[in-house]
Amino acid sequence: MIVYPKAKVNVGLRIIRKRPDGFHDLETFFISAGKSDVLEVTESAELIMNQYGLELDSDPEQNLCVKAYNVMREECGIPPVEISLFKRIPFGAGLGGGSSDAAGTIIAINRLYKLELTSDRLAEIAAKVGSDCPFFIYADCLNSEIGEGMIGRGKGDLLTPFVVPDISNYNIKIVVPDIFVSTPEAYRGVVPSGVKEPLETLLLKPVESWRDSIKNDFEHHILKKYPKIREIKDQMYRDGALYASMSGSGSAVYGLFPR
């Protein structure tokens, strides 16, 4: 069973507060953009994890695909599988590649063994792997070309479908510098900005207004620590982007350019 896990970008990422459980409440708009990985799941006598393409700096057994398999095994009692991942989405870039691969593993297992679990049930399972994973369960059914995405709240796992039609008028350009920003590093320096005007309200305003109103709270300290990321963002505006932002916890930067 072959699936194509997609990358994502975050339009706005507001950190609302730190929770008692150590996580943070946030608000963001997820849309699919950029490259896809290629993931194949087949039946096997033992669990095997193969990695190709971009080299990952972790043991294959620590890959989120393996974690996703283990959660599916616990939930559904499935037998061992062989997972083959061709990695194209850069890691440590805020594009959600690892979470997308984990969700892709869950989707592929559901199809391979004809479990017929609903997307909502798969999203519940995916949430046990990571906070971003549920979005990628639904990403296959969303058409980012017409502005379909999902508002994420809570840890990013409380999702509401939302459409921003204006996005269809723009090309999304993504630049990934040779900088790795880990999620723990990003959260260590973030300062919650609290509750403000709902993101949905801001997204329905002209894209030209987003530069002043839709912010990624990680940028405040990440751009100071990594001036190269700030320069990429500034260059996008010089090149004609109407909106540019770091995606997620970085280091990727994307811009919306008129078609």
Instruction: State whether residue 20 is helix, strand or coil.
Output: coil
Backbone φ and ψ for 102, nearest 5 degrees, come out as -65, -45
Which of 37, 87, 101, 132 is the catalytic position? Answer: 132
CB 159 within 8 A of CB 150: yes
Residue 65: closest CA among 149, 3, 13:
3
How far is Cα of residue 64 from the mean position of the Cα atoms in its chain? 13
Active site residue 224: no
Which of 8, 67, 87, 233 is the catalytic position? Answer: 8
Active site residue 132: yes
The strand order across the sheet containing 253-258 reads: 170-175, 253-258, 243-246
Q: Which helix (H) or strand (E) holds 15?
A: strand 6-18
Handedness of CA 224, 230, 234, 235 (dihedral sign): positive
Active site positions, annotated: 8, 132
